[in-house]
Amino acid sequence: MNFSAMQNQVGVLLGDTSNTFYTETEIQNMINRVQPEIAAEAEALLTYYDYTTSDTVQQYSLPAEYLTVKHVELHVDTNRHEKLKLLDLDQFHAVSYADADRTGEPEYYKIEYGAVDTVLAGNPQRPGDIWLYPIPDDNGTANYTLRVYFYQMPTDLSADTDISNLPIYLHMAVCYRAAALLAMKNKDLRTHNTLISMSQRVIDVAKINQNRAQRDRPHYIKDVMGTTDYIDEDTW
């Protein structure tokens, strides 16, 4: 659906296709506000960002379009890519205790959400920072490539012909969620709750379809108990 079609769908769900009670601007803004929620919940829009580490620099700002992390790799060279281990704040402190300035090949990372980049003065607020431990060395003067796989923020829609970055099967989830939140303007909790459930159902079905095995064979159930009679194909 393009932006115009999504707006019309929200109006249908709210029973107000003429924008009598819910204005066009309200509907447009709400669609854009809920897109990041749907992207994060459905784990859509997976991408990555490459950093070139710097000798003795431990902290790196997350990309502005960052939503949630998938995993982090350290490319030591063209043949060796190591997956770094995520630690929480306490774990990170524990592994670096009494050796916080240790340098070498990073093995661990933590993420501080909502942190401001303190390396370059005057930078705008970022989604957060990623910290590495051990602190990167120069990797024999070649430095490392830090590849962060993450789910990204969808682009706001503006023109009626704009189409959401989200997969098309999630567009209805956006419409349901936007309509649900707008229903609160009329204090319509019944409609709100129904639409929230419908939005969640679309997301759940999308996840099932995304994770289903390749569709090059019919569905079958494996007989692990050995109770199914053997059928010789030659007798079919």
Instruction: Record the pTM.
Output: 0.79
**What average pLDDT does the segment 132-158 reach?**
95
- Model confidence at 114, in pLDDT bands (50, 70, 90)? confident
Cis upstream peptide for 134 (omega within 30°): yes
CB contact set of 94 (below 8 Å; sequence gap of 6+): none
The tens digit of pLDDT for each residue in 73-110 reads 999 999 999 999 999 999 999 999 999 999 999 999 99
Total length of the chain: 236
Residue 206: both structure tokens together:
């999308």
For the residues of 82-133, what is the DSSP string, one character each? EEPEE--HHHHHHHTTT-TT-EES--EEEEEETPPP-SSTTPPP-SEEEEEE
